[in-house]
């Protein structure tokens, strides 16, 4: 039995744009909706959420069954989770908060088998189909197919970006503008502050030169999407589940209030 190529990797390596979103609720029904909506990937957030149960595995399996790549984001303090996530079938892992090339190198070491990394071998996992996959083919596939990314979100990491993106085994970069803002001394996150814009430009330029991919959060606006594509972004993430739901409910609450006020005043 031979492992299959990952559709998300194939798509972005052709130069096509991939559509994604983030899940913070760990809801299987939301992952179902992602499949039905035709998304290419979903980022499951383990950095700012805490789950130690089967929720992530359930989301990964739904994604695999429906053709949506599950990319799990973890904190740099929990890099030991990377091989475990890949073993349960995650098609990507992204390590947040890397401070430079040493952290990025540690991410590669955790996620990749030798000679790229130091991941320990065991076929007793879903990714290896419990030993049904040819061992040599599975090791090669594990180094070549699942996507590994890091989030660049502080000045030290930006300064080291050329060395970070040069690492074999690393596939994509995400620029964390909010954390970069705070780490740069700003009083609050500011996507359009000159410091943040310059850092993003530096990170994206180095990533493109290295032939690696870029993931970025994008507003659902045609001009914003065009700008992202022009910057070389090929993994476009359109918000997260709970934030999107809250926007809809806030609009509904505001509409109800407006309607009631108009009714009370006798206007339409």
The tokens describing 138, both together, are 């599975």
Of 15, 165, 175, 173, which is closest to residue 94 (Cα–Cα)?
A: 173
Confidence of residue 52 (pLDDT cuts 50, 70, 90): confident
The pLDDT assigned to 158 comes to 97
Q: Does the pLDDT of residue 268 top 70, yes or no?
A: no
Predicted local distance difference test score (pLDDT) of residue 126: 96
Three-state DSSP at 41 gives strand
pLDDT digits (tens, 9 = 90+) for 230-250: 999 999 999 999 999 999 999
Alpha-carbon distance 242 to 259, whole Å?
26
pLDDT value at 225 more than 70:
yes
Count how many Cα atoms sit within 13 Å of the Cα of residue 136 in the half-sphere of its side chain: 0
Q: What is the pTM of this model?
A: 0.93
Domains and CATH numbers, the chain: 7-241 (3.20.20.60)
Q: What is each CA distance from 27 to 31, 51, 61, in whole angstroms?
A: 7, 12, 13
């Amino acid at each position: 039995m031979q492992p299959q190529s990952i559709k998300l990797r194939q798509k972005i390596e052709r130069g096509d744009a991939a559509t994604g979103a983030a899940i913070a609720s760990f809801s299987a029904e939301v992952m179902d909706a992602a499949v039905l909506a035709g998304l290419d990937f979903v980022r499951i957030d383990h950095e700012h959420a805490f789950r130690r149960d089967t929720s992530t595995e359930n989301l990964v399996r739904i994604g695999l069954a429906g053709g949506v790549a599950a990319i799990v984001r973890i904190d740099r303090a929990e890099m030991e989770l990377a091989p475990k996530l890949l073993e349960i079938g995650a098609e990507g892992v992204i390590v947040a908060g890397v401070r430079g090339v040493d952290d990025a190198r540690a991410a590669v070491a955790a996620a990749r088998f030798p000679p790229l990394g130091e991941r320990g071998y065991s076929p007793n996992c879903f990714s290896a189909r419990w030993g049904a996959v040819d061992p040599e083919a599975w090791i090669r596939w594990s180094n070549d197919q699942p996507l590994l990314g890091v989030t660049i979100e502080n000045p030290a990491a930006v300064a080291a970006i050329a060395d970070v993106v040069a690492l074999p085994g690393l596939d994509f970069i995400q620029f964390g503008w909010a954390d970069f803002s705070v780490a740069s001394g700003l009083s609050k996150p500011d996507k359009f502050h000159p410091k943040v814009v310059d850092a993003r430009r530096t990170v994206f330029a180095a990533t493109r030169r290295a032939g690696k991919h870029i993931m970025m959060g994008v507003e659902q606006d045609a001009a914003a999407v065009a700008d992202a594509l022009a910057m070389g972004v090929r993994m476009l993430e359109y918000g997260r589940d709970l934030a999107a739901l809250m926007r809809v409910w806030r609009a509904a609450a505001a509409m109800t209030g407006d309607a009631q006020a108009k009714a009370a005043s006798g206007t339409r």
